[in-house]
Amino acid sequence: MSVAILGGGLSGLSAAYYLLKSNGKLSIRILEGSSRLGGWIRSNKLDNGVIFEEGPRTIRPRGLAGDNTLSLVQDLGLEDRITPIYAHQPAAKNRMVYAKGKLHSLPSSFGGLFKTTPPFSKPLIMYLLNDIIASSKRVEDESIYDFVNRRFGQDLADYLISPLICGICAGDSKEISVNFLMKGLFEYEQKYGSIYKGLVRNLFNVEKHELSELGVKAKREKWSVYSFKTGLETLPKTIESHVRSRGVPIELNSKCTKLQLSPNNVQIQLGNKMVAPEHLISSISSQELSRLVRDQHPVLSDLLGNIRNVTVAVINLQFGNLRLREGFGFLVPPKERLPVLGVIFDSCCFPCGDDRTVLTVMMGGAWFGRLFGDDPGEEELLSTAQKYLKVTMGVEEAPREWKVSVLRDCIPQYTVGHDGWVREIYRYIEANRLPLTLCGSSYHGVGVNDVIYSSRNAAESVCKSINAMK
Ligand SMILES: Cc1cc2nc3c(=O)[nH]c(=O)nc-3n(C[C@H](O)[C@H](O)[C@H](O)COP(=O)(O)OP(=O)(O)OC[C@H]3O[C@@H](n4cnc5c(N)ncnc54)[C@H](O)[C@@H]3O)c2cc1C
Ligand SMILES: C=Cc1c2[nH]c(c1C)Cc1[nH]c(c(CCC(=O)O)c1C)Cc1[nH]c(c(C)c1CCC(=O)O)Cc1[nH]c(c(C)c1C=C)C2
């Protein structure tokens, strides 16, 4: 059986890894549209040794998907190249928001729940207790902002949840579905009338899964998040070597321009070349896949097109030694109406010498077009980043090194209705018996762990259907 994987980002590479693992006899090829692998993961190493991460920089070790990534990391022999941020370090404990003209640390311990810490006007516990008296409302889906506002109050929606949504999907919490981050809590309210009642009833129903060897180590050593000493791109690069050394051909500059899919038939148009595998795993964004199937499958195309992506401007900067408050970085609540989503203190997360401070400013997201138009110049983006580093942190120095990148359509938005569209997409593929399996960040989670897990599920489902045909 021949399987083509569309896209050579982390999920496409991982799909090849898991296909090989499940069935060594498959004929697999990866078709990548650009001239490099890794997709949004790119660790640019400067001549002075500093790494500018353009996309992701940390991975969570926890949860089923987090542990799955750790297993993969271990299988690839990358254990010794990990660099963790431990729970006791400032970069793990101190996440800040910039609000009302100041940087504020968010409470990071149980005790912190009982103190009034600005920008909140009362102790966090008081907002949480509001859930007990808030009336419940039966809804199919709603925005995470509305849900938190209803159950906990507007302060929490504005100063905690809205910036958090910026720091995960660069999105607007008034559009993002509650199921994106709070599925369990929302289900408790819908089923039991309040979150606290749901928590009490399910106190002993905590799902446990057995941890991998590296998962046990991460837990024992209290890793908060981790990366790799040579940057996060180490992960896709190592998967690439792994799959290449096992004979998987990787075709770069092979952009698919059209797809024909019918039962037992796949035709992939790559410029003026046609490829016809028996099955296709698509790891590209739903937005891009929507364009490729529009002529033949307009209904599927509309469903896929509902899941749209936003653009983020990433400005990496290296200074001399700036005396910073230690922490992971800060997020800016959209209510503040600044053009900045957040700033990461890279050199605090992963130190790179006493005389160097590395920061990354992220801008745009759901507001990119409104703020910067279609095609802002590098200079405009750099000067905006510098202006707001001065406003928020008082940084007046000019950077010694910098890099401006515009990541077009890089993060999918799980807006209200997302889960329903994903169900419909799967139903359409099944009902029309299309030889197509989906993975990547558009459907079941936007983080590194999620996309690796989605690729594992995709590969296993392909292998299962092959076995069923035998
Ligand atoms: C700024 C930013 C910060 C992030 N930070 C974190 C973080 O700290 N932690 C975390 O867990 N996650 C983070 N993420 C998310 C993480 O980067 C993604 O989950 C992951 O990289 C997605 O990988 P992917 O392979 O699914 O998609 P992509 O990286 O988009 O890969 C898709 C590939 O398909 C190719 N392609 C597209 N169209 C075609 C076509 N028509 N034909 C052929 N090939 C095509 C593309 O060139 C690309 O190589 C961040 C993302 C961004 C953008
Ligand atoms: C300001 C923009 C963004 C920052 N990071 C991202 C964007 C769009 C993207 C992103 N960050 C994380 C993930 C993975 C989530 C997951 O499911 O694992 C993604 C896609 C990790 C993350 N970053 C922050 C939080 C709270 C999380 C999730 C949990 C965790 O890893 O601990 C905080 C944060 N992100 C950014 C900043 C400036 C920031 C702040 C303090 C940048």
pLDDT at 12: 98
- Indicate if ligand 1 lies below 6 Å from the C-beta of 12: yes
What DSSP line would sit under 18-48, residue for residue?
HHHHH-TT-EEEEE-SSSSSBTT--EEE-TT
Question: Quick one: tokens of 139?
Answer: 């809804």
| 470, pLDDT greater than 80 | no
Percent of the chain predicted with pLDDT > 90: 87
pLDDT at 2: 95
User: Which atom of ligand 2 sits closest to the CA of residue 411?
Assistant: 8
- Indicate if ligand 2 lies below 6 Å from the C-beta of 73: no
Separation of 409 CA from ligand 1 center, angstroms?
10
When mean pLDDT is compared across 54-58, 116-120, 408-412, the lowest value belongs to: 116-120
Bridge partners of 143, per DSSP, are 177
Cα(414)–Cα(77) distance, rounded to whole angstroms? Answer: 34
Separation of 167 CA from ligand 2 center, angstroms?
4
Compute the average pLDDT of residues 409-429.
98
Q: Which residue from 166, 168, 442 has its CB within 8 A of the most atoms of ligand 2, so it is best to mutate?
A: 168
Q: What are 362-388's pLDDT values in tens digits?
A: 999 999 999 999 999 999 999 999 999
Separation of 271 CA from ligand 1 center, angstroms?
23
pLDDT band at 333 (very low <50, low <70, confident <90, very high): very high
What DSSP line would sit under 435-458, residue for residue?
SEEE-STTTS-SSHHHHHHHHHHH
ipTM > 0.95 for the complex:
yes
Residues 6+ apart with CB under 8 A from 374: none
pLDDT band at 107 (very low <50, low <70, confident <90, very high): confident
Q: What are 144-165's pLDDT values in tens digits?
A: 999 999 999 999 999 999 999 9
Separation of 56 CA from ligand 1 center, angstroms?
9
pLDDT band at 311 (very low <50, low <70, confident <90, very high): very high
Question: What domains does the chain contain, in order, with CATH numbers?
Answer: 2-41+232-307+416-469 (3.50.50.60), 106-201 (1.10.3110.10)
pLDDT at 209: 87
Q: What are 432-450's pLDDT values in tens digits?
A: 999 999 999 999 999 999 9
Q: What are 17-73's pLDDT values in tens digits?
A: 999 999 878 999 999 999 999 999 999 999 999 999 999 999 999 999 999 999 999
Dihedral of CA 211/214/220/225: which sign? negative
How far is the first Cα of the chain from the last one, in angstroms, to the nearest whole number? 11
Dihedral of CA 139/303/467/247: which sign? negative
Closest residue CA from atom 14 of ligand 2? 447
Cα(201)–Cα(193) distance, rounded to whole angstroms? Answer: 12
Q: What are 199-213's pLDDT values in tens digits?
A: 888 877 777 789 999
Question: Quick one: tokens of 90?
Answer: 């400032």
pLDDT at 203: 79
User: Which atom of ligand 1 sits closest to the CA of residue 292?
Assistant: 41
Phi, psi of 357 (to 5 degrees): -120, 125
Rounded to 5°, the CA angle 388-394-395 comes to 80
Cα(295)–Cα(265) distance, rounded to whole angstroms? Answer: 16
* Nearest ligand, measured from the Cα of 43: 1
- Collapse the DSSP code of 63 into the 3-class scheme (helix H, G, I; strand E, B; otherwise coil) and give the result: helix
| 353, pLDDT greater than 90 | no
Could you say which DSSP state residue 415 is in? B
Compute the average pLDDT of residues 4-10.
98
